[in-house]
């Protein structure tokens, strides 16, 4: 079943210990849709400037991604520059030029209206909410956000959370959103804000899935089968972590959308597919590795991840 | 099969967000032996002062731990004070009084000589080596160390590593020992220093087991079944993380020693038992929770950990 994703399509200048790339194709919606396209049909809503041409279009076309919702307007595309020279686990932002993204008004093509899955990538929660409300018939809605929106736009974000089935954020964002430094307590508090499921990404340490069926307890966690941990894949060389989180989301949500039913077992496998796609994203600069992938490689790594984590 | 452990038996004053405890029984050999005692016979080599009396002795006796190798000398026992008020994942040391430990000369009772398993807890590598050489017939030797020995006593430590089957250390220590900031590369480099297996503890993010059969590769990891990841158990409240690493080691090595053969599958289960024991250690101050455990509780949590990590 098809996913519609709204988010940024951008240019990134990235510096890591492995080298530097100028203005490669990036943005959350780009990573997400490329990654999800290995599992299901993907439709993008975004805005780009005059610097987005046939060569960039071809990257989406090669993966059969529907780009009719990418609006072309005068001006320059969103641009981000970041460096991982000091810390491969956290980018130091050197520049953020919103450009055409500053006046982004998501427009949903009629052809997208049948999408059963919606992903709200990390953008202004007011826009996330608008897209969510414009697609009332979707079956499952997932979304991302970041510290900036949690800190300075919390009321708008809280409205978005009420309409989410799945929220994907990182440790720091989870604790910040709940205003609680204990990870498990924070996760439970976030689930009370609306999302039925929470995926917390731990970067090099994997990710944890929480469903809201976690039972309250005094001093220790009461488990049920709806809590799941996927450690990160072991990479000998991390070339560029940019887009790893969005690629995780694409693998996770893309796999879920490909399944006839979103059972707890499907959520577990989705956590593995998310991990696999996030790990591939780090192996080369920008979207290079994701673009060149095959489903066979993805499934092979899925099996390696099972071997890495299962007792028998 | 019996384990002999050499290390510290001490008093700890601990402050965490959950409260403060003055002079509770602690030390690496204490946590290790209490934890391992749920799986196999344990014999301790340590030194204590006149402040170690019947009440402390009873803690070991209650778990049938052989304390004939705990030497009693005039003076005070090793004392450590630490605070986790700023960061539950890392203690801030307030005081370290070596006391009788400063002149520790491990003496191995004749009754211990039949031990087939030896654990060298975190002490001066010169003493670790001496104990190792005094027990040439052990079947499997594991050991721990810390940043202090890596930084300032590396030659002595490298000699110890040559004689180890299993080294258990944390991320930072792994990278420091290998002088490499990439975790996988660092782990491989450490395995070249002698240990046949390396267990890297990631604190709240679990632990990774490496065997030296990892194949070299250019840009990505080639797995074999001898690499295994166990995420940490999810704890809603971490009362006191003191001794979690030593309790992990006790569960890990204790389980291995309890098995007729130390197969790769046994190592995987040992990683889970280590995780389980480390998680219990955090639930109350000092050794309180470990002392009060039952094997039934341990196995129940082992099964919860399986559920938390396995696809089916």
Instruction: For residues A75 and B220, give the distance between their C-alpha atoms in angstroms, rounded to a whole number.
Output: 40
pLDDT confidence of residue A213 = 54
| B268 and A CB contact within 8 Å | yes
Interchain CB contacts (distance < 8 Å): A and B: 109
**Do A292 and A269 meet the contact criterion of CB atoms below 8 Å apart?**
no
pLDDT, tens digit (0-9, with 9 covering 90-100), for A34-64: 999 999 999 999 999 999 999 999 999 999 9
Question: What does the pLDDT look like over B154-172, one tens digit per residue?
Answer: 999 999 999 999 999 999 9
Whether B221 sits inside 8 A of A234 (CB atoms) is: yes
| Residue numbers of A between 69 and 98 with CB closer than 8 Å to B | 88
The answer, as to whether pTM is greater than 0.95, is no
Nearest Cβ partner for A308 among B219, B228, B265? B228
Contact B237 A182 (CB under 8 A): yes
pLDDT attached to residue B189: 93
CB contact under 8 A, A311 and B205: no
Per residue in B57-81, pLDDT (tens digit) is 999 999 999 999 999 999 999 999 9
Question: What is the chain B residue with the closest CA to A268?
Answer: B311
State the pLDDT at residue B89.
85
**Among chain B residues, CA nearest to A308:** B228
Q: Which of B184, B231, B299 to mutate to test the interface with A (most CBs of A within 10 A)?
A: B231
pLDDT of residue B171: 93
What does the H/E/C string look like for chain B?
CCEEEECCCEEEEEEECCEEEEEEEECHHHHHHHHHCCCCCEEEEEEECCCCCHHHHHHHHCCCCEEEEEEECCCCCEEEEEECCCCCCCCEEEEEECHHHHHCCCCCCHHHCCCCEEEECCCCHHHHHHHHHHCCCCCEEEEECCHHHHHHCHHHHHHHHHCCCEEEEEHHHHHHHHCCCCHHHHHHHHHCCCCCEEEEECHHHCEEEEECCCECCCCCCECCCCEEEECCCCCCCCCCCCCHHHHHHHHHHHHHHHCCCCCHHHHHHHHHHHHHHHHHHCCCCCCHHHHCCCHHHHHHHHHHHHHHHCCC
Cβ–Cβ below 8 Å for A184 and B235: yes
Residue of B nearest to A201 (CA): B205
Return the residue of A nearest to B268 by Cα. A311
Q: Give A182's pLDDT tier (boundaries 50, 70, 90).
A: confident
Segment B190-203 shows an average pLDDT of 95
Q: Which residues in chain B touch residue A226, judged by CB atoms under 8 angstroms apart?
A: none
Q: What would the mean pLDDT of B191-207 be, rounded to a whole number?
A: 95
Please say whether the beta carbons of A311 and B269 come within 8 A: yes
Residues of B in contact with A206 (CB under 8 A): 205, 229, 231
How much is the average pLDDT of A299-310?
96
Smallest Cα distance from B249 to chain A, Å: 19
Work out the minimum CA distance from A115 to partner chain B, whole angstroms: 28
Q: Is A259 on the interface with B (CB under 8 A)?
A: no
What is the reported pLDDT for A225? 41
- Please say if the pLDDT value at position B272 is more than 50: yes
Cβ contacts (< 8 Å) between A235 and chain B: which residues? 184, 220-221
Q: What DSSP string describes B85-100?
A: SS-TTS-EEEEEE-GG
- Largest Cα span, chain B: 58
Test mutation, B17, B224, B229, B283, chain A, max A CBs within 10 A: B229
C-alpha distance from A188 to closest chain B C-alpha (Å): 10
Chain B segment 149-208 residues within 8 A of A by beta carbon are 181-185, 202, 204-206, 208
Asked if A204 lies within 8 A of B217 by C-beta distance, the reply is no
Contact state of A231 with B206 under an 8 Å Cβ cutoff: yes
Of B217 and A270, the structure prediction assigns the larger pLDDT to A270
With an 8 Å Cβ cutoff, are B304 and A269 in contact? no
Indicate whether A9 pLDDT > 90.
yes
**Mean of the per-residue pLDDT values of chain B:** 94
Looking at beta carbons, which residues of chain B come within 8 Å of A230? 309
Contacts of A231 in chain B (CB under 8 A): 206, 208, 229, 231
pLDDT at B90: 87
Q: Which ipTM was obtained for this model?
A: 0.91
pLDDT digits (tens, 9 = 90+) for B219-228: 454 444 479 9
Would an 8 Å CB–CB cutoff place B148 in contact with chain A? no
Can you give the pLDDT at residue A223? 43
- Out of B234, B235, B269, the one facing A227 most closely (by C-beta) is B234
The answer to whether A292 faces chain B, any CB pair under 8 Å, is no
Residue A219 has pLDDT above 70, yes or no: no
Q: Do B311 and A223 lie within an 8 Å CB cutoff?
A: no
Please, which pLDDT band fits residue B86 given cuts at 50, 70 and 90? confident
């Amino acid at each position: 079943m098809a996913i519609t994703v709204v988010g940024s399509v951008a240019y990134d200048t990235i510096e890591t210990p492995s080298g530097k790339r100028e203005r490669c194709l990036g943005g959350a919606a780009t990573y997400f849709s490329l990654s999800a396209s290995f599992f299901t049909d993907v439709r993008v809503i975004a805005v780009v400037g005059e610097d987005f041409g046939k060569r960039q279009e071809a990257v989406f076309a090669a993966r059969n991604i529907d780009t009719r919702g990418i609006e072309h307007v005068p001006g320059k595309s969103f641009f981000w520059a970041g460096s991982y020279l000091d810390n491969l686990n956290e980018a130091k932002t050197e520049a953020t030029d919103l450009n055409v993204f500053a006046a982004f008004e998501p427009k949903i093509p009629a052809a997208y209206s049948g999408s059963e899955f919606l992903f709200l990538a990390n953008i202004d929660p007011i826009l996330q909410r608008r897209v969510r409300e414009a697609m009332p018939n979707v079956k499952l809605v997932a979304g991302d956000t970041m510290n900036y929106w949690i800190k300075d736009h919390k009321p708008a974000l809280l409205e978005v959370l009420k309409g989410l089935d799945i929220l994907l954020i990182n440790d720091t964002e989870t604790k910040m959103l709940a205003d609680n430094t204990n990870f498990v307590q924070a996760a439970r508090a976030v689930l009370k804000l609306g999302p039925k499921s929470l995926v917390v990404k731990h970067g090099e340490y994997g990710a944890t899935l929480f469903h809201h069926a976690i039972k309250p307890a005094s001093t220790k966690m009461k488990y049920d089968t709806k809590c799941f941990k996927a450690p990160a894949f072991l990479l000998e060389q991390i070339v560029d972590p940019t887009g790893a989180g969005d690629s995780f989301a694409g693998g996770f949500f893309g796999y879920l959308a490909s399944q006839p039913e979103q059972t707890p077992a499907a959520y577990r496998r989705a956590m593995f597919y998310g991990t696999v796609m996030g790990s591939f994203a780090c192996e080369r600069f920008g979207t290079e590795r994701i673009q060149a992938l095959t489903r066979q490689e993805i499934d092979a790594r899925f099996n390696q991840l099972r071997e890495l984590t299962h007792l028998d």
